[in-house]
Structure 1
Amino acid sequence: MSESRLAHQIAAAVRHERDRRELTQQALANLAGLSQGAVARIERGDRLPSLPMVERLFAALGRQLRIELEPLDSHLDAALDGLAGRPVTERIRELGLAKMLDALGELPYVLTGSTAALLQGAPLPVDAVEVAVRWPDSPRLTAFLENAYGQRWNARWEEWGGLRLEPEEPGEHRWQTRYGELRARMCDELPEPVEVRHAGRSYPVEPLVRVELADPRAADLLRRHRQRLAATSRKTGSAG
């Protein structure tokens, strides 16, 4: 991964978390003990900030930095191309989406993140069902998790289990259940959904433009895929 790309991803993550907390750049700077100009430069992605500075920013936002590995760009491009060539209905079936949603029952939700992107035809990798759930419905979500033999993701130990299931308890909102992995974005009000239909079933999904604003990783992959499509189109046009 190039330095500029990593700087861009850090910038997107900081902006996303700051917006989520409804903080101005100056307010975040005060919490982190930095200048407003330093926060602005990091959010622009002008250059890669130091690790201690990034840790201070995320700590001020109540978050912590975690390193994850991903395939090389060439492998990632090949994976996106492969997903683009597969039917959406086939990928929905492999995800086990219907079983998960049937088990959620009457719990109000909106599909978000990569799951919402998949249902709208975007070739993003999806390894969990992602939903938005209102905080007032947290007890109903907890009841589902108990019935589904849920185990919560323990980021400290990098394993499932050892944490209380309730979303109000500290920890990431990720659970492994008998129906697969569920990730929840807890919110005061559900995002306004659009209705998408596949194989005779209707799904309430967050619009793709909102997914890109709320999920920096999904936004990065979608931008990458679009750039490749544009480059392919230009090459085809030049050849013609």
Structure 2
Amino acid sequence: MSRLVRILGHTVRQQRESRELTQRQLADLAGVSQTAVARIERGERAPGLPLLERLLAAMDVQLAVAVEPLDAHLDAAMADLAARPLADRIDELNLDRLLDRLGDLPHVVSGAAAALLQGAPIPVDAPEVAVRWRDAARFTRWLEAAYGQRWNARWGEFGGVHVDPEEPGEHRWRTRYGEIRAAMCDELPDAIEVRHGERGYRVVPLVEVEVADPRAAALLRRHRERR
């Protein structure tokens, strides 16, 4: 089976199990057979895009496409990250400054940034935080004050679209304090505190990162395989 087919199957299974759905229940919601769901999850069948979109839409999520370095380059990058002090990697992300500037906006560090803070040597493009939908207006005001520009997928650059996370588009912004991404949610996820030096960080536990973030989950699996 191809690596991509395996990743897609694993993603469907993770999303289904996180919602406590059986394969039969997901199949009924998406209007497909239980056998099709089982074969996709086992990586025995490459799902067409329409079928994959139906399965994900039945779970209120959608497919996001990204690219990453080829395996050899990715392994080399992860080996380099593992050999470097975590404090240096936190500094490179400008994480502390960004979190300080968020002030009293309720948030939890999520995604690959949460994995980094828990010691995983995986690449992090930009800090990600979980923010509640009911705090979207406060978050928008913060973004405006920070001269935020939202990622415009149509143009392939920042700017030209409204910063409000309620508006359609990726939850990714460039600000005067660096790039930030947001996982908008109804309630903040359960968090644990990790400490580095004199500072504590509220982060999504690693096991929950793997459920919620397919790309981070794939990188974490690759890290474990390398070990």
TM-score by length of 2: 0.88
For residue 152 of structure 1, give the secondary structure of its aligned residue in structure 2: strand
Cα distance, 1:39 vs structure 2 = 2.3
For residue 2 of structure 2, give the secondary structure of its aligned residue in structure 1: helix
Match of 2:218 in 1: 220
Match of 1:46 in 2: 44
Match of 2:5 in 1: 7
Match of 1:37 in 2: 35
Kept in 1: contact 2:9–2:42 (CA 8 A): yes
Q: Are positions 1:208 and 2:186 aligned together?
A: no
Q: 1:60 to 1:188 in 2, by over 3 A?
A: closer
Kept in 1: contact 2:15–2:211 (CA 8 A): no
Q: Give the whole-Å Cα distance in 2 for the aligned partners of 1:18 and 1:158.
A: 32
Could you report, residue by residue, the CA deviation over 1:116-136 in whole angstroms, capped at 9, with x for unpaired residues? 111111101011111111122
Q: Give the whole-Å Cα distance in 1 for the aligned partners of 2:56 and 2:211.
A: 18
Kept in 2: contact 1:4–1:47 (CA 8 A): no
> 60-69 or 108-117: which moved more?
60-69
Q: What is the number of equivalent residue pairs in this alignment?
A: 227
Match of 2:102 in 1: 104
For residue 157 of structure 1, give the secondary structure of its aligned residue in structure 2: coil
Kept in 2: contact 1:111–1:132 (CA 8 A): yes
Kept in 1: contact 2:18–2:211 (CA 8 A): no
Kept in 1: contact 2:150–2:174 (CA 8 A): yes
> 143-152 or 51-60: which moved more?
51-60
For residue 170 of structure 1, give the secondary structure of its aligned residue in structure 2: coil
Cα distance, 1:31 vs structure 2 = 5.3
Cα distance, 1:156 vs structure 2 = 3.3
Match of 2:46, as an amino acid?
L
Which one of 191, 194, 197 corresponds to residue 193 of structure 1? 191
Match of 1:139 in 2: 137
For residue 131 of structure 1, give the secondary structure of its aligned residue in structure 2: strand
CA radius of gyration, larger in? 1
Q: Give the whole-Å Cα distance in 2 for the aligned partners of 1:170 and 1:62.
A: 15
Kept in 2: contact 1:32–1:56 (CA 8 A): yes
Kept in 2: contact 1:132–1:186 (CA 8 A): yes
Unaligned 5+ segments in structure 2 are none
Identity of aligned residues (%): 64
Match of 1:143, as an amino acid?
R
Match of 2:209, as an amino acid?
V
Cα distance, 1:29 vs structure 2 = 3.7
Kept in 1: contact 2:131–2:183 (CA 8 A): yes
Match of 1:87, as an amino acid?
P
Which one of 86, 89, 96 corresponds to residue 87 of structure 2? 89
Could you report, residue by residue, the CA deviation over 1:83-137 in whole angstroms, capped at 9, with x for unpaired residues? 0001000000010011111110110111011111111111010111111111221
Match of 2:126 in 1: 128
Match of 2:135, as an amino acid?
D
Match of 1:236 in 2: none
Q: Are positions 1:153 and 2:151 aligned together?
A: yes
Match of 1:80 in 2: 78
Cα distance, 1:28 vs structure 2 = 4.5
Match of 1:117 in 2: 115
Q: Give the whole-Å Cα distance in 1 for the aligned partners of 2:41 and 2:144.
A: 40
Cα distance, 1:51 vs structure 2 = 3.7
> 80-89 or 47-56: which moved more?
47-56
Cα distance, 1:175 vs structure 2 = 1.3
For residue 114 of structure 1, give the secondary structure of its aligned residue in structure 2: helix
Quote the RMSD (CA, aligned, Å): 2.3
For residue 196 of structure 1, give the secondary structure of its aligned residue in structure 2: strand
Unaligned 5+ segments in structure 1 are 230-240
